Amino acid sequence: MSTAKAISRLEDGFGKVELKSKFSELTFNIITRAVAGKRFYGEDVDAEWKVRCVYAGLIDEHRSDRSSLESRNTMIDHLLSLQKSQPEYYTDEIIKGLIMVLILAGTETSATTTEWAMALLLNHPNSLKKAIAEIDDRVGQERIMDETDLPNLPYLQISDPKLWPDATSFRPERFETGKAETYKFLPYGVGRRACPGASMANRLIGLTLGTLIQCYSWERVSDKEVDMSGGRRTHHAKEDSAGGHV
C-alpha cells in the first residue's frame, strides 16, 4: 500500500514511474518489518543502509525492550527466544548472519521478479487486460485486494521454454488450472535446501502486482517495448529498469 500511495502522489493524468527502485524499497521494508518490526519507507535503500540495519543494535534493542516482548512477533524475537534454550547454536553472531541473509537475499530477488513480471505485462497489453478483468471479476473495485484474494487470482505465472510447448510466448492462461507438473519448475528449490521465504515471496509479489494493476492504468512510456535483456547479477536482474506511465 505504501508504494501505491507513493505512486498516487503523481500529478493528475499519466505520469512516468521508474519501477526498479520502487520495488526494491517495497521488498526491503516488508522484510525489515518481519525481521525487526521496523519500516524504513522513504529512506535511501542502499547496501550501506541494509548493513546498518543488521549491525546498528537491533539485537540489543530487542533484548532490552522487555516491556513489549510478549506482544511482538518478529524474527529477532524468535531467534532470541531460541538463544535462551540453545545458546551454543544461536549466538549473537549467528543471529546477525541470519538477519543479513534474510535482508540481502530476500530483497532483490523478490523485487527483480516483480519488475520482470511488470515489464512483461507492459509488453503484452492483452495479458495485462486479462489480469485486470480477473481482478475486476473476483475482487471488484469497491475495495483494495488483500492476501486472501490471491488463491482466486491464478493468472500470473512464469514459463520455461525447455519444459512447455510454446513457452516463449507470454500466455499466463496456460496455468489457470492451478496444476503444476512436479519438478519441472523449481523457482525456490526443493527439499532441505529450498528457499525458506517462498511463501512470503509469493504473497509479496502477487499482492504487489495485483494492487498496482487494480489501482492504476498502465502503459509503456513509448511505443518501443521494454528491453527484456538480462543483466549480470546472480538473481538475473534486468539490464534496464522497467518503467511505465501510470
Contact (Cβ atoms closer than 8 angstroms) between residue 62 and residue 77: yes
| Architecture of the domain delimited by 2-245 | Orthogonal Bundle (1.10)
Q: pLDDT of 92-114, one tens digit each?
A: 888 888 888 888 888 888 999 89
Contact (Cβ atoms closer than 8 angstroms) between residue 53 and residue 42: no
Task: Give the contacts of 197 (CB within 8 A, at least 6 positions apart).
Answer: 102, 105, 106
Percent of the chain surpassing pLDDT 70: 66
Cα–Cα distance for residue pair 136/80, rounded to 1 Å: 44
Tell me, what's the pLDDT at 174? Answer: 65
Q: pLDDT of 26-66, one tens digit each?
A: 888 888 888 878 776 555 555 555 555 555 577 777 777 75
pTM of the model: 0.71
pLDDT at residue 246 above 80? no
